[in-house]
Structure 1
Amino acid sequence: MSINLDVIIDTPDYSVDMKSGLETLQGASDTTRCIAETILTNKVVKRKGNKSKVRTTLRSTFKGSYGQIFSLELYDSDLTKRLNKITRGVFFELFSYFIKEALYLESEKLSLRAEKVLDELGEEAEELIEILRLTSLENLHSASNKFSHKVVVNHRKSKFNKIMLGSFDKETGESLKAKEENEKYDLVVAITRLNINTGNGRLLVEGEDDTVAFGFSSQYKQVKIEAKKFFSKNLDYNNGLESDGYKYLKVVVSPVKLNSGKIVKYLIKGFYNE
């Protein structure tokens, strides 16, 4: 089975620096293969060889900045059946979700079918996100980091019908350098999203407008059931409400920051069960 995608490097002409361009294409390939294999096999594959049953193939270039068509190739009937079962729509919904999670961006609310597939992945989903941050997405940002070119990866349904899977620029590239700060403080927050298998989600700090990613400082399976219920109960209450109706919690956090000082994630260290 073959699925067409493309990567566009936004340059003022139809050319791009060869080294950064090749690194960007390599990043697009590795990101695609890594996400696809994890979704279709329910397991993160850390080594990718030329005998892999999931590979990417370069197709043709096209005009409009620097555009390169490539394809995701499945060389296994079981993987093809798995894709057909979950549907391409759900596959690409999760594809975009994993890219945004890896870049600490808020993703669209997943459909019930996509949520089910994500739940089946369990802790593999968190491992995939961490692996994407290491090399694949760093390479994908090469043209952005070195020449400030915006990069876009699309699912190419046809020449005139595309679905954007990820958008990358210098700012999203900076998020890959985020580090946990050696500090702890209290924060009043409302839980707006939570993955019950990984413990990752989004929260809204009281008085602010935009949500921020959060997770736990230890593996979620080691988090006490009391804490899990504490946060899931708050999410249940807030679901479907406008922010002015949210119920808030008091928690202890350590921030994960960019070099600029911007906070992209909070790690939960404790909470006040009042």
Structure 2
Amino acid sequence: MSINFDVVMASNDYSVDMNSGLDTLKGASEATRQIATTILEERVPERLSSESKVRTNLKRSFKGSFGQQFSINIYDVDVQRRFNTIGKKAFVELISYFINEALYQESLELSPKAKKVLKDLGIELEEKLIKQLQRSSLDHLHTVSNNFNQDVKLRYRQSREKQTILAKVDRATHATLKPRTDTTRRDITASITRLNINTGNGRLQIQGADETVAFGFPATKRYQELKVASKTPFSENLHTNNSKSREEWETLQLRVHTQTTSTGRIIKYIIEGIIDA
């Protein structure tokens, strides 16, 4: 059985530089295989080979900006059985989730089934996979973007007529792969818009801003090890705001430091604590 995807590279003349295009396709293959193997075999692959139980296959190309179809194929009965249990919908959601997490971008809200699979994988496996994606495969995926300043989209092909964008990359997203830590403390007023209750990672929206930004906790202060009283305000803020219009959102006063790109753009807030009102 195949799970079908495609890579679409923006182009003005329906063509793309071959070396850059091949590297971008390689990145799509590596990223999807690494995520699929982690989900289905519950391990992060150090190496990808032609003997792997989960592999990607090139399929038809198509006209457009410039695109190439490919598929994830499973060559093991036990792995296929686990895929059937997870289901195609949750599986595809998690591919989008991991790529966007590695790029500090917001992804679609996970379904309850996908959240359970993520929880069962565990924090260590999730964090290891994200670091593996950032190390090389997502760098390769950005090759066309970096060399020619063109957008690249990874899409799930549900059918010939229906495709869903799982991730979109460009030069700006590539800059997030090598974040810089700024230890300068600052105070912010923000609302929690998403929260992974296992890792403590999530998204917040600064009061008055239009976009959300990733947040997390210092490596020396793991979320699981925080006292319940320290965790509760984040989950309560999210729960409260889910039932209100944006204009009525409640906020938290937070002391943070940041991770930025080389240009200084903030891509993640590292929360040091809550400021008492």
Decide: shared fold, TM above 0.5.
yes
**What amino acid is aligned across from residue 231 of structure 1 in structure 2?**
F
Q: Deviations over 1:50-96 (max 9, x none)?
A: 22111111223222232212111111112212222221111111211
Q: How does 1:104-119 map to 2 (within 5 A)?
A: 104-119=104-119
* Counterpart for residue 28 of structure 1: 28
State the alpha-carbon separation in 1 of the partners of residues 111 and 42 from structure 2.
19
Report the AA paired with residue 20 of structure 1: S
Gaps of 5+ in 1: none
**Is structure 2 residue 268 aligned with structure 1 residue 265?**
yes
Alignment of 1:162-177 (within 5 A): 162-177=163-178
The equivalent residue for 1:223 is 226
Moved more, 119-128 or 193-202: 119-128
Distance across 2 between alignment mates of 1:145 and 1:261: 19
- DSSP 3-state at the match of 1:28: helix
Look up the SS of the partner of 1:40 in the other structure: helix
In the alignment, is the contact (CA less than 8 A) between 1:125 and 1:198 conserved in 2? Answer: no
Deviation per CA, 1:25-51: give whole Å up to 9, x if none: 110000110111122223322322222
Cα distance in 1 for residues equivalent to 2:64 and 2:212:
35
Q: What amino acid is aligned across from residue 220 of structure 1 in structure 2?
A: Y
Unaligned runs of 5+ in 2: none
* Structure 1 match to 2:10: 10
Matched-pair contact (CA < 8 Å) for 1:185–1:253 = yes
SS in 2 for 1:16: coil
CA–CA distance in structure 2, aligned partners of residues 220 and 48 of structure 1: 32
Match of 1:209 in 2: 210
Please name the residue that 1:83 is paired with: 83
Q: Secondary structure at the match of 1:173?
A: helix
Q: Provide the C-alpha distance between the structure 1 equivalents of 2:36 and 2:179, rounded to a whole number of angstroms.
A: 25
CA distance in 1, matches of 2:247, 2:160: 44
CA distance in structure 2 between the aligned counterparts of 1:221 and 1:52, rounded to whole angstroms: 34
Whole-angstrom CA distance in 2 between matches of 1:235 and 1:160? 36
Secondary structure of 2:158's partner?
strand
Asked whether the 8 Å contact 1:103–1:175 carries over to 2, the reply is: yes
TM-score, scaled relative to structure 2: 0.91
What residue in structure 2 maps to residue 96 of structure 1? 96
SS in 1 for 2:184: coil
Q: After superposition, where does 1:141-156 map in structure 2 within 5 Å?
A: 141-156=142-157
Shift of 1:273: 4.8
Q: Which range moves more in the overlay, 151-160 or 197-206?
A: 151-160
Counterpart position of 1:128: 129
Q: Distance in 1 between matches of 2:246 and 2:181?
A: 27
Shift of 1:103: 1.6
Q: Is residue 193–residue 203 contact of structure 1 (8 Å, CA) maintained in 2?
A: yes
User: 1:204 Cα deviation (Å)?
Assistant: 1.8
Q: Distance in 1 between matches of 2:85 and 2:73?
A: 17
Give the structure 2 partner of residue 70 of structure 1: 70
Write the distance in 1 (CA, Å) between the matches of 2:167 and 2:239: 29
Partners of 2:73 and 2:42 in 1: CA distance: 18
User: Which amino acid in the other structure matches residue 200 of structure 2?
Assistant: G
